[in-house]
């Protein structure tokens, strides 16, 4: 017997809610583009942080810092969106994203760059659950398929536009221009969303309108803090050379930038701004209201869950996948994550209002969507990482950009599949669509596992990449539709967040597990087919295409193993979806109702 789903929320009407969804979708796409834009900008960012290109492993925090902010804070942000409303969370997320972009653009060392990327991750990640929950507010369960497909499509479209945007900006400016563009777009979108007047989510009272003049004192303090902080980051050479103004940059003790007169002004103004926002009657940022929302959302539980997720993220994201599954401190990170998870379970059992309310994911399609999303992520990461790696190993050995562009054939098909999957969700069960999509993805991976050195030069490889991308796209909207149709209105934000978190964790675990599998196959292949030395093949020549061909041929079994493992993960996701989504009421009319109508 299928489990009963909650009654669908009443669809909102009016132009503003629809426009809000459009703006939120654009914001999601732009934040997703920023995730991938770093791929091309990373070498220049390393130079800006004082790290040489040869020390690539030292730049891992630039990536892991973003992932940590994106994933670890998602449940808290999703729950706050349930309690406070979608619009305030969208605006706050965009402001955080813009602030993180500003800090990253002005970063002068690795800690400041990681801090900026962390803020970008928190802001960019917070947009996703709020936007998915907004779809549930605007549309009843049977009409959410297409909007969810469109949101998923624009999110994946960001992954297509990210590398292209990065290439365009880097061709005319340096890497900092990318994050300055993020700053401008984030603030414009925040202002546009803030200007819209929309109804609150079902069951949430509308906040009282704010009247009176804006907080001028708070605004002045914010400007002073930003101005002085900007001087600390940028240290203009004209001021440094000036006999009078240069003294503002001389530290009182040591050689730190923040223990200078201008640094202390920035710190003091920031503290005064926070005090002003806490005690003012109409503050620029209502910190007390946000603090209440965080407490109501179970801040303690969110922090414990963040520790648990952070341990997993750091264990896998800081590893060098070419030589290890975990980083050198990976086991310690996992131990810390396990302690955080145990403490979280104890806390949830004792608190009256946990971050994931009791029974929020009790229905099989709800917790099943989290599980399916994990395996979707584990399979998806193989395409995102190993397709460009295969291209770099075989036909594009001298161009990282050309190797990355091979992935576009996969990524372009993905948003098309997302819209198609959303449309089909209104007519076919979510489990069937998800299984069909993951079946296509598994077929694509199985074909990739047969590629040889020159396969990417043939049209058949393009078809394989399109089929695989289309399959993943088909599965996105049904998974989101299933969790939203099987959870109550007041937990849509945190439920959507858990699905996104599961996919991101699946990607991290998947890349480590699949890479370990691939390395095992690589070393087994070398044992059976030992490589000759370069001198034996090339003699004294410095450039030797023949030896490069041998290296490429030796690396192909490793990629074959990764693609085969991804195919298995995709099949597991599809099989689980058939089982757990049977009770998800995502269709407009059930098959039983059609048969009764014809009787």
Evaluate whether 108 touches 233 at the Cβ level (below 8 Å).
yes
Q: On the CB side of 433, how many CA atoms lie within 13 Å of its CA?
A: 30
pLDDT of residue 551: 59
Q: Which of residues 225, 249, 279 is at a domain's end?
A: 279
Is 324 contained in some domain?
no
User: Within this chain, do residues 462 and 554 fall inside the same structural domain, yes or no?
Assistant: yes
- The C-alpha torsion from 172 through 174 and 179 to 182, rounded to 10°, is 0
Q: What is the DSSP string of 360-422?
A: TT-SHHHHHHHHHHHHHHHHHHHHHHHHHHHHHHTT-TT-HHHHHHHTHHHHHHHHHHHHHHH
Angstrom distances, CA of residue 289 to CA of 80, 244, 430: 11, 43, 39
pLDDT of residue 566: 94
With a cut of 60, say whether residue 203 has pLDDT above it: no
Evaluate whether 597 touches 497 at the Cβ level (below 8 Å).
no
Is 424 contained in some domain?
yes
pLDDT of residue 252: 85
Q: Which helix (H) or strand (E) holds 296?
A: helix 287-296
Angstrom distances, CA of residue 91 to CA of 188, 242, 328: 10, 41, 39
Task: Provide CB contacts within 8 A for 518, sequence distance 6+.
Answer: 386, 558, 559, 561, 562, 565
**Residue 476's pLDDT band (cuts 50, 70, 90):** confident
Q: What average pLDDT does range 469-491 have in this prediction?
A: 88
Sign of CA pseudo-dihedral 496, 499, 501, 503? negative
With a cut of 60, say whether residue 201 has pLDDT above it: no
Q: How far apart are CA 396 and CA 398, in angstroms?
A: 6
Which residue pairs, CB below 8 angstroms and at least 24 apart, start in 164-167?
165/33, 165/37, 166/36, 166/37, 166/38, 166/39, 166/40, 166/41, 167/40, 167/401
Tally the domains of the chain.
3
With a cut of 60, say whether residue 5 has pLDDT above it: no
Q: What is the DSSP string of 438-462?
A: HHHHHHHHHHHTT--TTGGGSHHHH
Q: What average pLDDT does range 555-580 have in this prediction?
A: 91
With a cut of 70, say whether residue 599 has pLDDT above it: no
| CA proximity to 26, closest of 164, 133, 153 | 153
Q: Which helix (H) or strand (E) holds 237?
A: helix 237-241
Q: Which of residues 168, 199, 230 is at a domain's end?
A: 199
User: Within this chain, do residues 415 and 493 fall inside the same structural domain, yes or no?
Assistant: yes
Q: How far apart are CA 403 and CA 507, in angstroms?
A: 21
| CA proximity to 200, closest of 262, 138, 123 | 138
User: Within this chain, do residues 191 and 250 fall inside the same structural domain, yes or no?
Assistant: no
Evaluate whether 158 touches 411 at the Cβ level (below 8 Å).
no
Q: How many helices (H) and strands (E) does the chain have?
A: 22, 0
pLDDT of residue 12: 42
**Residue 321's pLDDT band (cuts 50, 70, 90):** low
Q: How far apart are CA 6 and CA 8, in angstroms?
A: 6
Is 557 contained in some domain?
yes
Task: Provide CB contacts within 8 A for 203, sequence distance 6+.
Answer: 489, 490
pLDDT, tens only, 514-556: 877 777 776 776 676 666 655 555 655 555 555 555 555 666 8
pLDDT of residue 457: 86
pLDDT, tens only, 242-255: 878 888 888 887 77
User: Within this chain, do residues 184 and 267 fall inside the same structural domain, yes or no?
Assistant: no
Q: How far apart are CA 418 and CA 423, in angstroms?
A: 9
pLDDT, tens only, 555-564: 688 888 889 9
Higher pLDDT, 459 or 34: 459
Residue-number span of the structural domain to which 475 is assigned: 365-528+545-599
**Residue 326's pLDDT band (cuts 50, 70, 90):** low
Task: Provide CB contacts within 8 A for 28, sequence distance 6+.
Answer: 127, 128, 131, 151, 154, 155, 158
pLDDT, tens only, 140-193: 777 777 788 788 778 777 766 776 777 778 778 888 888 888 899 999 999 998
Residues written for the chain: 599
Q: Which of residues 165, 199, 233 is at a domain's end?
A: 199
pLDDT of residue 39: 66
Lowest mean pLDDT, pick from 7-16, 181-190, 257-266, 281-290:
7-16
Is 595 contained in some domain?
yes
Q: What average pLDDT does range 255-272 have in this prediction?
A: 90
| CA proximity to 389, closest of 405, 408, 402, 403 | 403
Task: Provide CB contacts within 8 A for 216, sequence distance 6+.
Answer: none
Q: How far apart are CA 156 and CA 158, in angstroms?
A: 5
Secondary structure letter of residue 346 according to DSSP: H
Angstrom distances, CA of residue 83 to CA of 91, 175, 292, 430: 15, 38, 10, 28
**Residue 134's pLDDT band (cuts 50, 70, 90):** confident
Q: How far apart are CA 235 and CA 256, in angstroms?
A: 13
Most confident among 6-15, 385-394, 568-577 (mean pLDDT): 568-577
User: Within this chain, do residues 100 and 171 fall inside the same structural domain, yes or no?
Assistant: yes
Q: How far apart are CA 507 and CA 162, in angstroms?
A: 19
| CA proximity to 22, closest of 205, 201, 198, 208 | 198
**Residue 33's pLDDT band (cuts 50, 70, 90):** confident
Q: How far is CA 246 from the centre of its chain?
A: 42
User: Within this chain, do residues 588 and 449 fall inside the same structural domain, yes or no?
Assistant: yes
User: Within this chain, do residues 573 and 447 fall inside the same structural domain, yes or no?
Assistant: yes
Is 352 contained in some domain?
no
User: Within this chain, do residues 237 and 192 fall inside the same structural domain, yes or no?
Assistant: no
Rg (CA), the chain: 25
pLDDT, tens only, 52-108: 755 656 677 787 788 788 888 888 888 888 888 888 899 999 999 999 999 998 888
User: Within this chain, do residues 257 and 373 fall inside the same structural domain, yes or no?
Assistant: no
Q: How far apart are CA 461 and CA 189, in angstroms?
A: 39
Lowest mean pLDDT, pick from 239-253, 303-317, 459-473, 543-557:
543-557
User: Within this chain, do residues 139 and 234 fall inside the same structural domain, yes or no?
Assistant: no
**Residue 275's pLDDT band (cuts 50, 70, 90):** very high
Q: How far apart are CA 368 and CA 371, in angstroms?
A: 5
With a cut of 60, say whether residue 131 has pLDDT above it: yes
User: Within this chain, do residues 483 and 580 fall inside the same structural domain, yes or no?
Assistant: yes
For residue 474, count other CB atoms closer than 10 A to its CB.
29
Q: How far apart are CA 330 and CA 337, in angstroms?
A: 10
Is 453 contained in some domain?
yes
Is 334 contained in some domain?
no
Is 344 contained in some domain?
no
Q: How far apart are CA 586 and CA 147, in angstroms?
A: 13
Burial of 492 per CB tally in 10 Å (0-12, 13-18, 19+): buried
With a cut of 60, say whether residue 588 has pLDDT above it: no
User: Within this chain, do residues 166 and 132 fall inside the same structural domain, yes or no?
Assistant: yes
With a cut of 50, say whether residue 3 has pLDDT above it: no
- The C-alpha torsion from 111 through 117 and 123 to 128, rounded to 10°, is -140
For residue 322, count other CB atoms closer than 10 A to its CB.
8
CATH number for 425: 1.20.1250.20
Q: How far apart are CA 459 and CA 405, in angstroms?
A: 15
């Amino acid at each position: 017997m299928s489990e009963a789903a909650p009654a669908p929320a009443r669809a909102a009407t009016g132009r503003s809610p629809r426009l809000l969804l459009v703006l939120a979708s654009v914001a999601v796409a732009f934040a997703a583009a920023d995730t991938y834009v770093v791929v091309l900008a990373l070498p220049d960012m390393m130079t800006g942080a004082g790290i040489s290109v040869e020390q690539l492993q030292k730049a891992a925090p630039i990536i892991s810092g973003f992932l940590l902010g994106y994933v670890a804070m998602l449940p808290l942000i999703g729950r706050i969106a349930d309690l406070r409303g979608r619009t305030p969370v969208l605006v706050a997320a965009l402001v955080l994203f813009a602030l993180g972009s500003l800090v990253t653009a002005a970063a002068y060392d690795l800690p400041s760059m990681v801090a900026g990327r962390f803020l970008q991750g928190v802001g960019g990640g917070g947009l996703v659950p709020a936007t998915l929950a907004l779809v549930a507010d605007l549309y009843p369960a049977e009409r959410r398929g297409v909007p969810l497909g469109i949101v998923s499509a624009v999110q994946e479209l960001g992954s297509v536009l990210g590398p292209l945007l990065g290439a365009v900006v880097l061709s005319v400016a340096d890497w900092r221009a990318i994050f300055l563009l993020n700053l401008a777009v984030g603030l414009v979108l925040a202002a546009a969303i803030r200007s819209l007047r929309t109804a609150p989510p079902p069951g949430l009272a509308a906040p009282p309108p704010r009247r009176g003049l804006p907080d001028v004192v708070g605004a002045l303090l914010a400007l002073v803090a930003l101005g002085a902080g900007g001087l600390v980051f940028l240290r203009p050479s004209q001021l440094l050379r000036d006999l009078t103004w240069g003294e503002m940059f001389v530290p009182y003790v040591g050689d730190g930038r923040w223990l200078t007169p201008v640094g202390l002004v920035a710190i003091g103004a920031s503290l005064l701004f926070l005090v002003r926002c806490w005690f003012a009657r109409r503050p620029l940022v209502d910190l007390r209201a946000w603090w209440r929302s965080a407490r109501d959302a179970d801040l303690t539980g969110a922090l414990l869950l963040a520790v648990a997720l952070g341990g997993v993220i750091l264990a896998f994201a800081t590893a060098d996948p070419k030589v290890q599954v975990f980083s050198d401190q990976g086991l310690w990170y996992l131990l810390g994550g396990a302690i955080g998870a145990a403490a979280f379970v104890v806390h949830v059992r004792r608190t009256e209002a946990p971050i994931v309310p009791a029974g929020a994911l009790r229905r099989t399609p709800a917790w099943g969507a989290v599980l399916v999303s994990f395996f979707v992520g584990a399979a998806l990461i193989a395409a995102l990482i190993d397709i460009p790696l295969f291209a770099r190993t075989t036909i594009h050995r001298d161009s990282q950009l050309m190797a990355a562009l091979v992935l576009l054939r996969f990524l372009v098909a993905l948003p098309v599949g997302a819209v198609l999957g959303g449309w089909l969700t209104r007519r076919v069960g979510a489990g069937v669509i998800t299984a069909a999509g993951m079946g296509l993805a598994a077929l694509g991976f199985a074909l990739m596992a047969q590629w040889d050195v020159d396969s990417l030069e043939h049209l058949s490889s393009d078809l394989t990449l399109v089929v695989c991308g289309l399959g993943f796209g088909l599965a996105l909207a049904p998974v989101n539709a299933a969790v939203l149709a099987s959870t109550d209105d007041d937990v849509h934000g945190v439920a959507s967040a858990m699905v996104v978190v599961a996919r991101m964790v699946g990607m991290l675990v998947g890349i480590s597990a699949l890479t370990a599998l691939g390395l095992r196959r690589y070393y087994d292949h070398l044992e059976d087919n030992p490589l000759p030395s370069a001198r034996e093949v090339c003699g004294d020549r410095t450039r030797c295409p023949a030896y490069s061909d041998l290296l490429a041929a030796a690396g192909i079994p490793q990629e074959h193993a990764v693609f085969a493992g991804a195919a298995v993960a995709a099949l597991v996701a599809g099989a689980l979806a058939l089982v757990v989504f049977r009770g998800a009421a995502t269709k407009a009319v059930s098959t039983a109702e059609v048969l009764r109508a014809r009787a």
